[in-house]
Chain A
Amino acid sequence: MSQTFTKSMARNIFYGGSLFFFLLFIALSVDTSEAIPKQNAKAIITPQVAMGKRIWEDNDCIGCHTILGEGAYFAPELGNVYKRFGNSTDAIKAFIKSRPKNGIPGRRSMPQFNFNEKQLSAIAAFLKYASEIDTNGWPPNIQG
């Protein structure tokens, strides 16, 4: 680099630029925090949804699935599974319940978690909640 561009100029760009864009990021984040509840007014968090999210986390569902496109890419997207299963929480519960304990020979299979009825309902409620988040039109189609 030429002599006219000095180290102190480079340093000032680093400090000034980083600080400016970090503050801008904070400002955008504050605005987003306020916008999230309005944008997602349809996605209502009930105590059952809260319980469902904890079960979702305690079993590391995201280690195989994606939800809103984030997670692992080994098993189907679940952000819209409620819609894919015909807007039915019962279908979700039935699927989870029916997983064979020892898997399916040669194929990927979801483990059998032995959830009770209350837990199953909570997970289904959480996935219904997820499907009601306004994702700006993602995914492109029902297959996720």
Chain B
Amino acid sequence: MKYQSQAVAKYYFIAAIALFVGQILFGLIMGLQYVMGDFLFPEIPFNVARMVHTNLLIVWLLFGFMGSAYYLVPEEAETELFSPKLALIMFWVFLAAGVLTILGYLMVPYATLADITGNSLLPTMGREFLEQPTITKIGIVVVALAFLFNIGMTALKGRKTVITLVLLIGLLGLAVFFLFSFYNPINLVKDKFYWWWVVHLWVEGVWELILGAILAFVLIKTTGVDREVIEKWLYIIIAMSLITGIIGTGHHYYWIGTPRYWQWWGSIFSAMEPIPFFMMTIFAFNMVNQRRRNHPNQAAVLWALGTSVMAFLGAGVWGFMHTLAPVNYYTHGTQITAAHGHLAFFGAYVMIVLTMISYAMPMLRGREAANSNKSQVVEMWSFWLMTVSMVFITLFLTGAGIAQVYLQRYSDTPQAFMVVQEKLATFYWMREVAGVVFLIGLITYISSFFVGGKEAEEIA
């Protein structure tokens, strides 16, 4: 750690991991409710478990992005953080807002939560992923602005690098597009149309800039490859992300009451969305092959390579599978979507945050450059347990999805939704087993922070 103020990142990373655990526990509850419909009913209905699962994911990834920025920007800018104090205050504000919101979901019926937080004054609640009370949304905006100010001022007073710039554009886009969560017209078509300006333009737009910037940073640090080379790759990757991804939003506009021309725009551009992810894979492996040093933190290199592959599979391949309009006509809103969502979020965003934590945490905890060999071995075990089990979750959901599409949508005698769901029980049970393995992987991951702490680092 070159700059004292980078230490604030540690708070963000620890909170991220803690919330990650909560996310997985609720994922397992939901998985069980898929096959044991009355599990925890009516105390924790499925929709509550689901909003806890997805909102915890979003919040912990945001903690991860912010922690990454607080670590990365001072080092890139070669200066102390503009205000470590502001970063710490915002940490506690964001954590309190996040925890209170989750507790609100769990302790009172959602309608009561909407009532006591004054949702009728500015109704924004009750939409997928944007379930947070309006007051929480305003809190998110405040935290994001303070964060951008802090990071922006740090970048301005120091060295300006492409990585910082790309990260800042990504984070600024994240804040700007979130503002569309406050626009909630009665017209269901318009509501859906602009809802995607938050959801799609985040995960298939500006978040890819954040992903690219963090990946580029870790690769520079761990491979020692010339910055010029890495920055050129970064520019061309994010160029392809936005060139394909912005119009690619059209793949959500096939069946929601919008004009037919979106079937062409959406199909053509979203079919190209795997390109930047494929380039990212080539990029990561090339840089590691051309490395000028062997960094002692081999776990971080594994995460970096892993995220480049899994993002391509989850976001790229599994996205492409159902993105063309004639295919999507049958797969829209089935378990195929759930399969894609799981592998894409894990491969692209979970793994990039874990890459950064893996790289930065040893230094944040006072080590020279890396954890001991013993700790890294445990961490690599957790990498494989989580990655392989997530691949299996995805495969089982894909199997369920294909069967669902056939039975409910494609066969000559389409069957009712609930009838079909019962026939998919085997797939759902196997998914739940894979989910338990994922939890074991996560426990292994956390335990890697507590083993081999006193042992020396490997000299690379």
Contacts and interface: CB of A to CB of B under 8 A. Distances in A.
- Say if A and B assemble together: yes
Interface of A: 1, 5-7, 10-11, 13-14, 17-18, 21-22, 24-25, 28-29, 31-33, 35-36, 39-40, 43, 45, 49-50, 53-54, 56-64, 66-77, 101-109, 111-113, 129-130, 133-144
Interface in B77-133: 110-111, 114-115, 119-120, 123, 125-128, 131
B33 A108 contact: yes
A60 B38 contact: no
A58 B409 contact: no
Q: Which 9 residue pairs are nearest across A and B when measured between Cβ atoms?
A: A63-B47, A57-B126, A69-B333, A108-B37, A138-B255, A10-B235, A14-B239, A76-B417, A18-B242
A50 B329 CA distance: 28
A99 to B, nearest CB: 10
Nearest to B109: A59
A132 to B, nearest CB: 10
Interface string B237-255: 0110011001101101111
Interface residues of B, number: 79
A80 B99 CA distance: 37
18 contacts: A5-B232, A14-B236, A17-B239, A17-B242, A28-B250, A36-B193, A57-B114, A57-B123, A57-B127, A58-B110, A61-B47, A72-B47, A102-B42, A103-B42, A109-B41, A111-B42, A139-B409, A143-B409
A104 B255 contact: no
B111 A58 contact: yes
Contact of A73 (B247, B260, B337, B414): B337
A74 B36 CA distance: 12
B119 A58 contact: yes
Contacts of A11: 162, 235
Given A7-B235, A103-B42, A143-B408, A73 B257 contact: no
A28 B197 CA distance: 13
Most A CB contacts (10 A, CB to CB) among B231, B243, B260 go to B243
B423 to A, nearest CB: 13
A70 B256 contact: yes
A137 B162 CA distance: 46
B256 A135 contact: yes
B259 interface: yes
Nearest to A71: B128
Interface string B175-217: 0000000001011111011000000000000000000000000
Nearest to B36: A106
Nearest to A130: B188
B110 A25 contact: no
Contacts of A63: 45-48, 50-51, 110, 128, 131
Interface in B299-355: 329-330, 332-335, 337-338
Contacts of A13: 235-236, 239
A49 B50 contact: no
Contacts of B190: 33, 36
B258 interface: yes
Contact of B263 (A64, A103, A136): A136
A22 B332 contact: no
B193 to A, nearest CB: 7
Given A109-B37, A130-B188, A56 B246 contact: no
Given A36-B190, A136-B254, 19 more contacts: A21-B247, A28-B261, A35-B259, A40-B257, A57-B184, A58-B114, A59-B126, A60-B47, A60-B48, A60-B51, A63-B48, A69-B255, A74-B34, A103-B42, A106-B37, A135-B255, A136-B260, A137-B329, A140-B414
A70 B270 CA distance: 18
Which of A62, A70, A103 has the most B CB atoms < 10 Å from its CB? A70
